[in-house]
Amino acid sequence: MSASTQVAITGAAGQIGYQLAFRIASGQLLGHGQSITLRLVEIAPAMQALEGVAMELEDCAFDSLEEVVATDRLEEGFRGADYVFLVGAKPRGPGMERSDLLTENARIFSRQGAVLNEHADEHAKVLVVGNPANTNALIASSNAPDMDPRNFSAMTRLDHNRACAQLAARTGHHVSTVRRMTIWGNHSATQYPDLSQATVDGKAATSLVESNWARGEFITTVQQRGASVIKARGTSSAASAANAAIEHMRDWAHGTPGGDWVSMAVPGDGSYGSPEGVFFSYPVRCEDGDWEIVRGLDLDEFSQEKIRITGEELLDERAAASDLM
Ligand code: NDP
């Protein structure tokens, strides 16, 4: 086995963290031959629960798990980290406005960015899952001046996977035959799930589904899928979120398979009418540990308007958190 790879997870005793830690320790992120040290980070009140998680990890006797570090100190949690999953975030409490949520989380993610800058590997890949994920990624990256902003991203992969699954179900094909799906913009209700470029079993998705569905029910179903899971399960999606986080990081590190693309929120470069200076979800291809936005797609007016709307929301979020950048 090669030297142990350091994988840090914040909010590690939470719902998503609980799924993520075991799957990563079992080799599902980097392969079974790669030794892993898990660096699990929690806030002080959750440390007892985190000790329980560490005990269960030990009890799994995973071949590839070298060590578990459980801590409420970010400096220790992020020390030498190669891969970082920023999952823990303050949830919206009763009577809290969205702007309050932004400000509370901006404080958390600005400090995390600064500590990553000092203690993580300078080439660490950082994935932000905790909401508002796009703006939290922007804040963390802007507080880590020695790290390349390209090494930060926010998760829209669960939305991407949900969109693929909805299109597969609608067309009666297996989800593995769906390619070139895109989530544009913010991981929020303004996200734009776009099947206009997608194919199903090699055929254009637009030739297989009605335009009204593609522009209506398809989009709202993907946007509201999280709420539907909460209604059914009584608690928010965690296994599918952890699965998406692993797929996001794995493809980033090892490449997108088969010439397909995936959706990742990365630093906006103005392409397709998106704003610069925010983290915006685009279609991306990954290779050799890096990503590139897919170029040259022909987008209709409907798509351009959706991209404009979600981009405006991200600019508003950035303005609300500007003090901490
Ligand atoms: P979860 O593990 O369910 O969720 C963690 C974060 O992921 C939330 O911000 C959640 O957003 C977000 N998320 C992103 N995508 C999804 C998705 N598709 N489905 C569900 N969640 C998604 O939260 P828990 O409350 O179980 O655990 C959070 C942990 O973080 C706790 O153990 C807590 O102690 C810790 N924490 C850490 C903080 C810190 O680091 N300073 C601050 C506060 C808590 P959303 O809320 O919008 O669903």
Ligand 1 centroid to Cα of residue 87, in Å, is 6
* Residue list, ligand 1 pocket, CB within 6 Å: 10-11, 13-17, 42-43, 46, 87-91, 108, 129-131, 158, 226, 236-238, 241
**pLDDT for the residue numbered 100:** 81
| All residues at 6 or more sequence positions from 73 whose CB lies less than 8 Å from its CB, including other chains | none
Model pTM?
0.96
**pLDDT for the residue numbered 60:** 98
For the stretch 109-142, pLDDT in tens is: 999 999 999 999 999 999 999 999 999 999 999 9
For the stretch 133-166, pLDDT in tens is: 999 999 999 999 999 999 999 999 999 999 999 9
Using CA atoms, how far apart are residues 247 and 2, in angstroms rounded to an integer?
Answer: 22
Name which residue sits closest to atom 45 of ligand 1, judged by CA.
Answer: 131
87 closest CA partner among 248, 242, 266: 242
**pLDDT for the residue numbered 97:** 74
**pLDDT for the residue numbered 2:** 55
163 closest CA partner among 252, 37, 281: 281
Tokens at 324, concatenated: 């901490």
How far from 146 is each of 5, 118, 122, 276, CA to CA, in Å?
21, 9, 7, 20
Q: Report the atom number in ligand 1 closest to the C-alpha of 12.
A: 32
Ligand 1 pocket: which of 131, 229, 281 to mutate (most atoms within 8 A of CB): 131
**pLDDT for the residue numbered 91:** 85
Residues that are catalytic: 187
Number of alpha carbons in the 13 Å side-chain half-sphere of residue 256: 20
Using CA atoms, how far apart are residues 7 and 321, in angstroms rounded to an integer?
Answer: 28
How does pLDDT run along the chain (325 residues), one tens digit per residue? 458 999 999 999 999 999 999 999 999 999 988 999 999 999 999 999 999 999 999 999 999 999 999 999 999 999 999 999 999 999 877 777 777 888 899 999 999 999 999 999 999 999 999 999 999 999 999 999 999 999 999 999 999 999 999 999 999 999 999 999 999 999 999 999 999 999 999 999 999 999 999 999 999 999 999 999 999 999 999 999 999 999 999 999 999 988 899 999 999 999 999 999 999 999 999 999 999 999 999 999 999 999 999 999 999 999 988 887 8
Using CA atoms, how far apart are residues 275 and 271, in angstroms rounded to an integer?
Answer: 8
Using CA atoms, how far apart are residues 132 and 10, in angstroms rounded to an integer?
Answer: 15
Ligand 1 centroid to Cα of residue 129, in Å, is 8
Using CA atoms, how far apart are residues 256 and 194, in angstroms rounded to an integer?
Answer: 19
Ligand 1 centroid to Cα of residue 15, in Å, is 7
**pLDDT for the residue numbered 151:** 98
Tokens at 205, concatenated: 């998705």
How much of the chain exceeds pLDDT 70, in percent? 99
Coil vs helix vs strand at 275: coil
**pLDDT for the residue numbered 322:** 85
Q: What is the mean pLDDT of the chain?
A: 96
**pLDDT for the residue numbered 64:** 94
